[in-house]
Amino acid sequence: MTYCVAMRLADGLVFASDSRTNAGVDHIATFRKLHVFQQANERILVLQSAGNLATTQSVLSLLRQRCHDDKLNMMNVPSLYDAATLVGATVREVIERDGGHPHRSGISFGCNILLGGQIRNEGTRLFHIYPEGNFIEATEDTPYFQIGESKYGKPIIDRVLQFDTSLEQAMQCALLSMDSTLRSNLSVGLPLDVMLYPVDSFSADAQYRVCESHPHYQTLRKIWGEGLAQLFNQLPPLAL
């Protein structure tokens, strides 16, 4: 399984993804789930993937391979909306090619993809693309999307995140959301791939890999855990 979260805020975008794709007694696999398509000073598109690994890898391979074609591709689409349409069509293409009749085999070939970024002459945008190829867009009222094992990390985001939250605070929120999920589900695992994108920067420089020993992550999870325990102990006596 996996857990990815992406946030569209007034100041830019925040992305965080775990890297576990399989967790069994004798087999744990790790693959990167955050992928960047970049053209200097003109566009930056970030994809996060969850679902069938073969499907997501085929979709990403086709998108990268076709960047050299004359037809519409990730490097020449005029808007993020057109990019979301292109990714959705590629998802449908791969599932139709490889999936056959999934109800007969009991295997799901579906995947979910988060696509965010900015193309020059428009603002930042964020989309959630479904296995059927259709998609929805983040708004100021709903400034984030999750895919994968989302339920454990959702409460902290719902309580904290607003459209005007700073990128730094939003990343703290994303990391705490990840930590809550890691504590409750073995199918989500370190390391984490995270990225901050300031609006109009057209830069992917603020990408980081967060491992178990990362000092800020360790400090953050320690302070958060101790703070929750302290607040719990300060709750008023039960009066029914």
- Among residues 177, 168, 105, 123, the alpha carbon closest in space to that of 147 is found at 177
The CA distance from 140 to 166, in Å, is: 14
Does an H or E element contain 197, and which?
strand 192-198
Sign of the four-CA dihedral 134, 7, 147, 214: positive
pLDDT at 22: 66
The CA distance from 193 to 218, in Å, is: 16
Pairing of strands 28-30, 20-23: antiparallel
The CA distance from 53 to 205, in Å, is: 26
Task: Print pLDDT tens along the chain (240 aa).
Answer: 799 999 999 999 999 999 987 655 455 677 899 999 999 999 999 999 999 999 999 999 999 999 999 999 999 999 999 999 999 999 999 999 997 654 556 788 999 999 999 999 999 999 999 999 999 999 999 999 999 999 999 999 999 999 999 999 999 999 999 999 999 988 899 999 999 999 999 999 999 999 999 999 999 999 999 999 999 999 999 999
Which residue shows structure tokens 């695992």?
A: 189
Q: Tokens in use for 3?
A: 């857990």
- Among residues 183, 214, 188, 193, the alpha carbon closest in space to that of 29 is found at 188
Q: What is the DSSP string of 9-53?
A: ETTEEEEEE--EEEE-SS-EEE---EEEEEETTTEEEEEEEEE-H
66 neighbors 77 (Cβ within 8 angstroms): no
The CA distance from 179 to 16, in Å, is: 11
